[in-house]
Amino acid sequence: MSAAHGIPSRGAPPGAADVLALIIAGQQWIGWQRVAVTRSMDTVPASFDIQVTERYPTTGDVSIKPGDACQVKIGGDLVITGYVDRYAAAVTGTDHTVRIAGRSKSQDLVDCSAFIGDKGDPSFQVKGGTALSIAQQLARPYDVEISSIAGPGAQIPQFNINLGETAWEIIDRITRYSKLIAYDLPDGSVVMAQAGTETMASGVQEGENVEQASVSFSLDQRYSDYEGHLLSTGVFGNDTGQAATRVGQVVNDAGVPRFRKRYIISEQSQMGHFLAHDRSIWECNRRAGRSQAVNVTCDAWRDAAGALWSPNHLTPIRLPALKLPDENWLIAQVSYTRDETGQHALLVLMPKEAFSPEPVAFQPLPVLVQDVERFNATKP
């Protein structure tokens, strides 16, 4: 490993466009022999774990320590902005190993407790606002920027923060309440969005850029009928035995070939709106989407146009040996790796439906008997 100020590097990968650099205080460290950088739509924060092993280590001072602000770049592309979490060094009679791990700036939202206001004079009352404005207030003390490419989200009423809950727990809740997803970006910020519509310039194609691929299909977590109810106890409103707590029509999954029933109990209501039926739709779509996933190992970190594979982007799938129809699925996760076996991009691909946000009530309350009666009175 060496700094990029003229000291020759050992183990630097061929092709300058795919050199991974760790940048700390303006100094670039390159020549990493083992690399794992992961970005995901499901997991915040993004992370990196990089390592170099030298038979004859240089005597230069490696001035990297936990807590250092850093950037990770692949070629000229920024992939992570965050902090070094761990620095580990080991030496034997023949080897010297340096290993560094870190995560995106959004780690502080996931790890640390939530509060509003100044760092020295925090408040635990949120006076209300949009999902975006409240998320920005929660992220500001930790110097994390939050934006949205899908609007400001729902209006959230005033509420109190529970001591001990993290900023991310609240941000995740208000994001899902707004029917959005949230994930971090290469600059260390967080974006609120919906399932992406942008497509990579090329896809994963058997015989071209795919080294290995596998697909799994499952039916054990899918059901033919989803029926939403407000209460888990049977309350019958007429002589037919029809439960008075049922909300909306039964949601069907046409991909399930036999009768498999699932009742969805969602006692919450928000602003007079019952979530049981929305939950039924979400359960159906989410389970169908997550029941099929493709894991692909590509031979390059970039698509045909030179863009890095990125989460929340559609990519065409052309894998006839797996008996898959040609589809455009979302990149759920990408890991850029390098080790003794070479350089690879590990992609997890799923249908867009797998990323529909779960309907939630921001401040869930049990449904009162009068709520059920009022709802039933409006039924035809």
Instruction: Indicate the SS3 state at residue 193.
Output: strand
Q: Where are the alpha helices (DSSP H) in 86-241?
A: 107-111, 131-139, 167-177
pLDDT digits (tens, 9 = 90+) for 22-78: 999 999 999 898 999 999 998 899 999 999 876 544 545 567 899 999 999 999 999
pLDDT category, 156, cuts 50, 70, 90? Answer: confident
Fold: same for 2-103 and 204-218+291-355: yes
Round to whole Å and give the CA distance between 310 and 332.
9
Find the helix or strand (DSSP H, E) in which 283 lies: helix 276-290
Block residue for tokens 């409103």: 237
Q: Does the structure show a pLDDT above 50 at 368? A: no
Pairing mode of beta strands 27-30, 2-3: antiparallel
Q: Does the structure show a pLDDT above 50 at 377? A: no
Q: Which residue has the higher pLDDT, 268 or 196?
A: 196
Q: For the CA atoms of the chain, what is the radius of gyration?
A: 25
Q: Write down the CATH superfamily of domain 109-193.
A: Baseplate protein-like domains (3.55.50.10)
- Look at residues 204, 198, 214 and name the one whose alpha carbon lies nearest to residue 326: 204
Q: Which residue has the higher pLDDT, 191 or 360?
A: 191
Round to whole Å and give the CA distance between 300 and 161.
45
Cβ within 8 Å of residue 376, ≥6 positions away: 237, 244
Rounded mean pLDDT of 302-318?
94
Round to whole Å and give the CA distance between 108 and 36.
21
- What's the whole-model pTM score? 0.81
Q: Does the structure show a pLDDT above 60 at 367? A: no
pLDDT digits (tens, 9 = 90+) for 332-346: 999 999 998 899 999
How high is the mean pLDDT of the chain?
A: 83
For residue 111, how many C-alpha atoms fall within 13 Å in the half-sphere facing its CB?
Answer: 9
Domain with residues 2-103, CATH architecture: Roll (2.30)
Q: Where are the domains of the chain?
A: 2-103, 109-193, 204-218+291-355
Q: Write down the CATH superfamily of domain 204-218+291-355.
A: Baseplate protein-like domain - beta roll fold (2.30.300.10)
